[in-house]
Amino acid sequence: MRGAQKTFSEPGKPAIEVLSGVDLDVAEHEFVCLLGPSGCGKSTLLNMCAGFESIDGGTIAIDGEPVMGPDPRRVFVFQEYAIFPWMSVWDNIAFGLQGRSDAQRHEIARHYIELVGLEGFERAYPRELSGGMKQRVGVARALAVNPDILYMDEPFGALDSLTRLNLRSQLIQIWRREKKTILFVTHDIDEATQLGQRVVVMSARPARIKTIVDLSGLAYPRDIDSAEYIQARDRLFEEMGVSTRV
């Protein structure tokens, strides 16, 4: 993207500039985290990349083609559990596979149920699942349609700390196996340190890219007690203007 800008305006109210001149390149198969304070415009930027929100200035292109709207090659995973409550785990995951043969739908759904660790819950309904399990259904459903890119907007934000930690670890395993490009929004510094190959630190609104921290030298799975991890995390705290001393 080059010079991406977004301003929200309502009749009778002052215009609010949310994004101002954002430049960013993301490589194929890369895991990039967008990190910034709440309300800075991270989710707006993600929605613009996904084609859910129009762009007011600049350009956003994927493989040289301008983003004009949503595209089945690019799938969104939300913070809320965006799964159908009247469908079983199996039917939710297979929902986007219409047009495939029954055998293909069965094989794909089975693969992703195993990948996210939901064996034995195929016929369960969302009301019977924990929050973490619901989010795994959402991730599996997104992966089942074989997208090129996953856009993830604070997908673990509503979960307890232990579940978040487990799902982060699982997401890294899935990403390394499936080789998808992931653009992941978070305001959690530990989450960004655990997940991202690069972390894009955004300023307060109107958001610009303050800096990009390269964490590709930190091997996966990341040891959160290692000196290298703590140094990387503290660098992000510093870039966010947060003191690590209490």
Query: What pLDDT sits at residue 72?
Result: 87
Neighbouring residues of 107: CB distance < 8 A, sequence distance ≥ 6: none
* DSSP 8-state class, residue 246: -
pLDDT for position 32: 97
Domain boundaries, given as residue ranges, for the chain = 2-73+148-239, 83-146
- Give the amino acid at 133: M
Element (H, E) at 49: helix 42-50
Cis peptide before 206 (omega within 30 of 0): yes
Distances (CA, A) of 228 to 30, 179, 217, 235: 21, 25, 9, 11
Q: What is the 3-state secondary structure (H, E, C) of 6-34?
A: EEECCCCCCCEEEEEEECCCCCCCCEEEE
* DSSP state letters, 35-48: E--TTSSHHHHHHH
Angle between helices 102-115 and 131-144 (to 10 degrees): 140
Strand partners of residue 57: 5
Q: What single string gives the DSSP state of each residue in 99-146?
A: TS-HHHHHHHHHHHHHHTT-TT-TT--GGGS-HHHHHHHHHHHHHHT-
d(CA 175, CA 22): 26
Model pTM? 0.91
The class (CATH top level) of 2-73+148-239 is alpha beta
In the chain, which residues have pLDDT < 50?
Answer: none
pLDDT, residue 88, reads 93
